[in-house]
Structure 1
Amino acid sequence: MTHAVRRPRATVLTGILPQHWWAGSALLVGALMLAGQAGAQDLIKTHGYSYFGELKYPADFAHLDYVNPDAPKGGEISEWAPGTFDGFNPYFRGGNTAALSTAPFEAIVTTTADDPTALYCYLCTTMEYPEDLSYVIFNLRDDVTFSDGSPMTADDIKFSYDTFMEQGLPEFRAAFEGQITQVEVLDPHRIKFSFGEDAPRRDRIGLAATFPPFSRAEWERDERRIDQTWETPPMGTGPYMLTDFEYGRTLTYGRNPNFWGADLPINVGRNNFDAIRIEYFADGDTAFEAFKAGEYTFRVENSSLQWATGYDFPGIQNGSVVKAELPDGNLSPGQAFIFNLKDPKFQDPKVREAIGLMFNFEWSNATLFYGLYERVTSFWGNSDMMAEGLPTEGELAILQPLVDAGQLDPAILTEEAVMPPASSDGQLDRGNLRRASALLDEAGWVTGDDGIRRKDGQTLDIAFLESSPSFDRVINPYVENLKRLGVNARLDRVDPAQETERTRSGDWDIVTHSFAMSLEPGTELKQWFGSETAEDSSRNLMGLADPAIDSIIDTVVAADTQDDMKSAVRALDRTLRAYGFWVPEWFKGVHTVAYYDMYEHPENLPPYALGETDFWWFNAEKAAALKASGALR
């Protein structure tokens, strides 16, 4: 398949949480609880916060362990993005949002790529909270400025909080509303967040610290709103700001020469490029040809076909382009075909199971993917939170009451965790075909004389909604297998704008979706799987609403020990997989990248970020040699 790993849709937004894109990972809402030195009486004052374990970095650290503190500043890195864009609002589901749209924004705290569940003061110097976590006070830096040089104050942060809670995505407000009961500006550089008694302890500080500060003066002057498309981004406090763009074609973020935080220890060796440019292309094949021609210079390769067969062009042969596999310690991405559970035909688990049996990963991997991929099996793959085998004692304590209440099938207690079905080397596995046929017969979908299955006079029609031509190679064989089952299946290929609109409106049967879980899950799980967000969500796109799953999510959120949290996550993973709203796709456990040989990175990369726009750097001498040789214009 041309693109074996799907790029996330730029317009499928996940809430208010700003993507810390320069670190290559999102700020984890659920990563919280007690850390730091004990202060007077019950008040704790600290530079960072971690619910489980110790902070990796002390208050006086010089720089992050994985950066080159002497990395030079300068040059440009350029990458590509698919489709088009028509706005810059990453917190709104309307339109097609530009890549790097969170680039101007920062948060009160930040994470690192080697301590991803800890929160370190960033826009603050310290945080203060009592042992009962009824509130947190952030002592803000007095030197933080927006890109125009105007100072950021506590009032700007309160303004951002109020704006998000009034105008933010419904799925975010449904999951988090009521957890913060009051926000008080104590002075220009101190702000206090108070929490409701029912607010999950592990989520409190992370939620309060997450809102990116907006300039209240600018927003009121320009009458901005979060629930509207932004033709240009508002000011932020970040190291980069939009300097040039052409709608739908290209955009560039340039270094802010007056960035307030350039000399902070946490920024040493980072933000090394003068400019980050994104070029847009209609499809991956066109983008690859542009890369070979030097129209952009860094490529994260998501195509097994290109990786296996395409990298024999002159740039590779003469050494001007580097092809590399770099370590990736992240959770395996939960990429999958998902069912629209609001459609009556998909509400029958037998129908979903039958359709899943017809996807032959083994044949696809050998024939289409050159054996480069592994099957997605879990929402928390590549971690010890993945459910395996029979339920553990901790899982049973969570699952048994739900079985007793009639909310879960008793089989979940005695059967091993659901794994995707294995298939034969041939495109159509006849054993799986027989199993799928029996399931549809039991569900009342009977094969007619024309070979098409019907129920109550209606044919079993299924369409795969897809905008990327690169998915044709994998979906078309899947469609052929389904037709052999008697399903009236087809590939419904549309342009990216149509795909975005139809997924939002619910006009789809099956679509590819990516579930990006965290290493310390919290309330954000309600955005992914909770009944609260089933009607309108960019995360809970399938429309999942199940009381047992809601109950397990509550158990995960309430867990006070790491062991309890992991047991609850395994129980959730087991239950989600048993529900069967997905057909797991594929992943690879390394970063496959190609780039013009003028970029360098630290010898030891951190486990949770590739970080090419964060802590890589530009070698001016190598760039000059590439231009002199004609490899780059």
Structure 2
Amino acid sequence: MTKSKPFQIDRRKALGLIGASAAAPLMPRTGWGESHGADPAMIRSHGYSFYGDLKYPADYPHWAYVNPDAPRGGEIVIGTRGTFDGFNRWAWRGNPESNSGVVAEALFGEMPWGGGLPADTITDSYCLVAREVEYPEDQTWVIFHLRDDVKFRNGQPVMAKDVVFTHNLFLEQGIRSYARSVSERVIGAEVLGDLSCKFTFADGISRRSLIDQVGGTPIFSEDWYKETGERLDEPSVNSPMASGPYQVADYEFNRFVVYERNPDYWGWEHPANKGRFNFDRVRFEYFADDTAEFEAFKAGITTFRQEGSTKRWATGYDFPAISRGDVVRETIPDSTAPNNSGIIFNTQKPPLDNRNIRHALTLAFNFEWVRESLQYSLTTQRNSYVEGQEWEAKGVPQGAELELLQSLGDLVPAGMLTEEVVMPHTSNPRDPIDRRNKRAALKLLEEEGWTLDAEGKLRNAAGEQMSFNFLVISTWDDVRLSSIETYVRTLTDWGIAVNATKVDSAQGQQRFLDKDYDIIHTRILTFSSAGTGLKQMFGSETAQVSSYNPANLQSPLVDALIEKALDTKTRADEIIALTALDRALRWERLMAHEGFVPEYWTAQYDMFEHPADLPPYALGVLDFWWMNEEKHKALQERGVLK
């Protein structure tokens, strides 16, 4: 079992997917227009919120959870696996360095290493490159007024023309699912002046997330793109010209990359940045496999590790640096819904386009055996796509949720209205091949025309053996690979042929993007609110081209529920719609859920510190932790670190 790392996509990204906040924006309903001296129908503000007032006032000094006096300096070194061939994070092909988007920022603030800003609310966005946002109550358009002191890293000013240029660049050369979704909703982008730009939105659609969408798009230099001839959709060794606090300082392909704080960064004193970006240098060391990465940590080559392996957390931390206290471990509560990792089926590949067959194949996954034999009983069974949240579907639909489902008519299967929400099956923890589940699965498969022949092979009426291509990447950790191997053995025992040959990370990434697989072990993002990003995650329109929809789901019911969620006017109604969406996703049987750990597991050399009270929506290692220089020197003097 592997948990996501702190510098990867944060769970709030469920609705952003390209730079906008994942949370559905909340709009202040009262007071803003009048308090700013504007027409009462207009809203002018230092941020954007859809349902209520912003948490932080216009004169906020810093986020409540940061240490505004945190020392700045030092270097943190983190291990990662795989390869990279460039720094254009948004290229369609190639294998860009996974953290290279950190160089950019947007009109609204974000956590550049991954996550929404601030990390103590999922409802708000606050101006960063913009100084003010202006829009009517019906949100038919929005105007951003930019600050006059923002500079690209080459010293050139960030202007409104750069914002509009970048918006159009993403539509012309960006991720296809994003471009298609946004171009149908954002019908105009225009420069009003050097520091003002306007976006106009389509009629007849939900606009709840569009201000946040355009406000969260990274901003690049128009002049730089024209001078260099660079393209957003092509791999490049050049880092896009942007205005973020970090820049590429040094690298060697497939070995390491160093991001350093830009000493000329315009925003060091911005209240949104107080207590943040505290490391002078963030270095990523690349390794071929998980074992090499961990050995490098034990040797002090890397200095921080968010542990994702239950096996290693249980058995691996017994080396001398731990005994001496030079390396410390922390278990930090994580109250957010975990991303949905597990065995995922490509629902557009026959026979996986059949729900009953997907149901049968989920029965091949023995969570209890994996938990006890591979995960050291440290994981918890995941039931829902929004585990532990208020909008997790439970029991039989009732009340407003039932009314919502009934309003969709024949789109809703009769069983969804009368049966308990789909829950994971139970298995025998003593045997990876659970005989009871095997019998139930073979019965389901027989009902769909697949029977065992005299040789024990599962065949259809045409005599074809059921077979699948399972995409497996060689750099995955040993627990993940062992879990896959166990699942494949079970399918083989059932008479199913499975090709699970490992491929390198570059080939695996391309096959993932092309959806060139039947089955894959990966994750589906969770969601906390409604926004157009739900269409990228679960919508039919962009399923084939969206990297956020690994199940390739194309369901009219799910599409309708997304529209219902987007059309809600209150948070209470939104929660009802999201509950129904969770119920529908579970009905589809897209995956066999692995377990999750409701905590962050960190190990670090004893020189890093963080606020006593961490915010609920981010661990924030690279955002608001810092180095204690005295502790660092002590480790060096003892010869622990160089």
Question: Aligned partners of 1:397 and 1:77: how far apart in 2?
Answer: 52
Q: Structure 1 residues 17 and 150 mapped into 2: Cα distance closer, same or farther (>3 Å)?
A: farther
- AA at the equivalent of 1:83: G
Where 2:352 maps in the other structure, the secondary structure is helix
Matches within 5 A, 1:387-406: 387-402=393-408, 404-405=409-410
Q: 1:387 to 1:15 in 2, by over 3 A?
A: closer
Q: Name the structure 2 match of 1:450.
A: 455
Post-superposition offset of 1:329: 2.0
In structure 2, do the counterparts of structure 1 residues 338 and 235 end up closer, same or farther at CA, with 3 Å as the change threshold?
Answer: same
How far apart are residue 534 of structure 1 and its match? Answer: 2.1
Do residues 30 (structure 1) and 30 (structure 2) align?
no
Task: Deviation per CA, 1:255-281: give whole Å up to 9, x if none.
Answer: 100110000111111111100000111
2-structure distance, mates of 1:335, 1:145: 40
Query: SS of the counterpart of 2:388?
Result: coil
Distance in structure 2 (CA, Å) of the matches to 1:15 and 1:617: 27
Q: Tell me the alpha carbon deviations over residues 180-200 of structure 1, each in whole angstroms, 9 at most, x when there is no partner.
A: 222221211111111111342
Query: Secondary structure at the residue paired with 2:369?
Result: helix
Alignment pair present for 1:437 and 2:422: no
Give the corresponding residue for 1:487. 496
Cα deviation digits, residues 82-111 of structure 1 (max 9, x gap) = 111112222223111203111111110122
CA RMSD of aligned residues (A): 1.9
Match of 2:565 in 1: 556
Q: What does 1:452-531 align with in structure 2 at a 5 Å threshold?
A: 452-455=457-460, 456-467=462-473, 468=476, 470=478, 471-531=480-540
Q: TM-score, normalised by structure 1?
A: 0.95
Which structure 2 residues correspond to residues 19-58 of structure 1 after superposition, within 5 A?
27-28=21-22, 30-34=24-28, 37-39=32-34, 40-41=38-39, 42-58=41-57
Partner of 1:62: 61
Q: Contact conserved, 2:5 with 2:306, CA < 8 A, in 1?
A: no
| Partner in structure 1 of residue 75 of structure 2 | 76
Per-residue deviation at 1:469? 5.2
* 1:17 CA drift (Å): 5.1
**Alpha-carbon contact 1:8-1:514 (below 8 Å) kept:** no
Aligned residues of 1:16 and 1:168 also touching (Cα < 8 A)? no
Distance across 1 between alignment mates of 2:536 and 2:6: 17
| Alpha-carbon distance in structure 2 between the residues aligned to 1:480 and 1:416 | 31
Query: Which position in structure 2 is the counterpart of 1:87?
Result: 86
Instruction: Summarize the Cα distance change of 1:477–1:454 in structure 2 as closer, same or farther, 3 Å threshold.
Output: same
Aligned twin of 1:176: 182
The answer to whether structure 1 residue 229 and structure 2 residue 235 are counterparts is yes
| One-letter identity of the residue aligned with 1:431 | R
Give the conservation status (yes or no) of the 8 Å contact 2:162–2:222. yes
Match of 1:23 in 2: none
Q: Is the 8 A contact 1:16 1:172 kept in 2?
A: no
Q: How does 1:120-159 map to 2 (within 5 A)?
A: 120-159=126-165
The Cα shift of 1:29 comes to: 6.2
Give the whole-Å Cα distance in 1 for the aligned partners of 2:168 and 2:501: 41
One-letter code of the match for 1:169?
I
Tell me the equivalent position of 2:412. 408
Q: Is the aligned partner of 1:420 residue 2:424?
A: yes
Alignment of 1:198-213 (within 5 A): 198-213=204-219
Deviation at residue 174 of structure 1 after TM alignment: 2.2
Q: Distance in 2 between matches of 1:103 and 1:76?
A: 16
Task: Describe the SS at the equivalent of 1:114.
Answer: coil
Query: Which of the residues 579, 583, 588 maps onto 1:570?
Result: 579
Q: Output the CA distance in 1 between the equivalents of 2:7 and 2:602.
A: 20
Q: Could you list the per-position Cα deviations for residues 271-311 of structure 1 after superposition, in whole angstroms to 9, with x for gaps in the alignment?
A: 11100000111111110001000111110100011100000
Contact residue 16 and residue 91 of structure 1 kept, 8 A: no
Q: Confirm or deny: 8 A CA contact 1:436 1:485 kept in the other structure.
A: no
Moved more, 582-591 or 514-523: 514-523
Q: Distance in 2 between matches of 1:124 and 1:177?
A: 22
Which residue identity does 1:262 align to in structure 2?
A: W
Q: CA deviation at 1:342?
A: 2.2
SS of aligned partner of 2:133: strand
Q: Distance in 2 between matches of 1:89 and 1:412?
A: 44
Corresponding residue SS for 1:174: helix
The one-character-per-residue Cα deviations of 1:482-501 (angstroms, maximum 9, x if unpaired) are 22322223532221122112
The equivalent position to 1:253 in structure 2, one of 246, 251, 259, is 259
Q: What's 2:613 paired with?
A: 604
Q: Percent identity?
A: 40
Letter in 2 for 1:212: P
1:288 aligns with 2:297: no
- Report SS of the residue matched to 1:184: strand
Q: CA deviation at 1:543?
A: 1.8
Contact (CA 8 Å) 2:18, 2:217: kept in 1 or not?
no
State the TM-score, normalized to the length of structure 2.
0.94
Question: Aligned partner of 1:58: which letter?
Answer: P
Shift of 1:170: 1.1
Residue deviations 1:96-155 (CA, integer Å, cap 9, x gap): 120311111111012200013201111111111112212111111000001111110101
Looking at structure 1, the residues matched to 71 and 4 of structure 2 have their Cα atoms a distance apart, in angstroms, of 33
CA distance in 1, matches of 2:219, 2:620: 24
Cα distance change of structure 1 residues 565 and 72 upon mapping to structure 2, 3 Å threshold: same
Query: Secondary structure at the residue paired with 1:62?
Result: coil
Letter in 2 for 1:424: N
Deviates more, 1:302-311 or 1:330-339: 330-339
Is the 1:49–1:55 Cα contact (8 Å) retained in structure 2? yes
CA deviation profile, 1:27-48 (whole Å, cap 9, x unmatched) = 2263243356223321111111
Q: Distance in 1 between matches of 2:418 and 2:527?
A: 28
Q: Per the alignment, in what secondary structure is the counterpart of residue 164 of structure 1?
A: helix
Kindly indicate whether the alpha-carbon contact (under 8 Å) linking 1:10 and 1:96 is maintained by their aligned counterparts in 2: no
Contact 2:6–2:622 under 8 Å retained in 1: no
1:219-242 residue CA offsets vs partner (Å, 9 max, x unmatched): 100012111112121121111100
Q: Cα distance, 1:364 vs. partner?
A: 0.8
Instruction: Check the 8 A contact 1:552/1:568 in 2, yes or no.
Output: yes
Counterparts in 2 of 1:495 and 1:299: CA distance versus 1, 3 Å: same
State which of 363, 366, 370 in structure 2 corresponds to 1:364: 370
Cα deviation digits, residues 532-576 of structure 1 (max 9, x gap): 112222112222112111111111111111111111111111011
**Most deviating of 30-39 and 593-602:** 30-39
Which of these residues, 632, 637, 640, is aligned with residue 631 of structure 1? Answer: 640
**Distance verdict in 2 for CA 1:306–1:172, change over 3 Å:** same
CA distance in 1, matches of 2:509, 2:48: 38
Structure 2: segments with no counterpart, 5+ residues? 110-116
State the match for 1:269 in structure 2.
275
Question: Judging changes above 3 Å, is the alpha-carbon distance between structure 1 residues 398 and 92 closer, same or farther for their aligned structure 2 residues?
Answer: farther
Give the conservation status (yes or no) of the 8 Å contact 1:67–1:602.
yes
**1:503 partner SS:** helix
Equivalent position of 2:113 in the other structure:
none
Give yes or no for contact 1:530–1:550 (8 Å, CA) kept in 2. yes
Stretch deviating more after TM superposition (606-615 or 41-50): 41-50
- Measured after TM superposition, the shift of residue 78 of structure 1 is 1.1
Which shows bigger deviation, 376-385 or 245-254?
A: 376-385
CA deviation after TM superposition for structure 1 residue 207, in Å = 1.6
